[in-house]
Amino acid sequence: MTTYIIAYLATLVFFLVVDMVWLAGIAKKIYGRQLGSLMTRNIRWGAAGVFYALYILGAVIFAIRPAVEAQSLMTGLTLGALYGFFCYMTYDLTNLATLKGWPEKLIWIDIPWGTVLTGSAALFGTWVAMFFVG
């Protein structure tokens, strides 16, 4: 259990740092231009916190735990990338299907981003769990 708590915390920190750099830097202008008035001026930190906490829990359950059990960094990367792909794809395609004016261009940015970010975070979490915890 301790292994997965440490993996969770390491993955959460990695994910948050990289995602914040992405959101504050590159993505802020892209999303602002694409979403315009749909974007809020005040981030709802509670909702964001719940997302990050639960999303990383999912990465631990569906990617990191199987990778640690298999003692395979590649499993962590692959399952993490797949988890990210399916989660971000679900979000983006649901928005495209149901929201008036959701820009199609965003799916070509957001889905690859979620895939790469989650795969990298799961790889890092797997590495921490395997090499620092055992």
Amino acid at 4: Y
Structural domain total, the chain:
1
| Residue written as token pair 């740092």 | 17
Domain that holds residue 122: 2-133
State the pTM of this model.
0.92
Are 118 and 87 within 8 A, CB to CB?
A: yes
CB atoms within 10 A of CB 37: 6
pLDDT tens digit string along 16-75? 999 999 888 877 788 878 887 777 778 788 999 999 999 999 999 999 999 999 999 999
**Burial bucket for residue 6 (CB in 10 Å: 0-12, 13-18, 19+):** middle
pLDDT tens digit string along 101-133? 889 999 999 999 999 999 999 999 999 999 987
pLDDT tens digit string along 60-77? 999 999 999 999 999 999
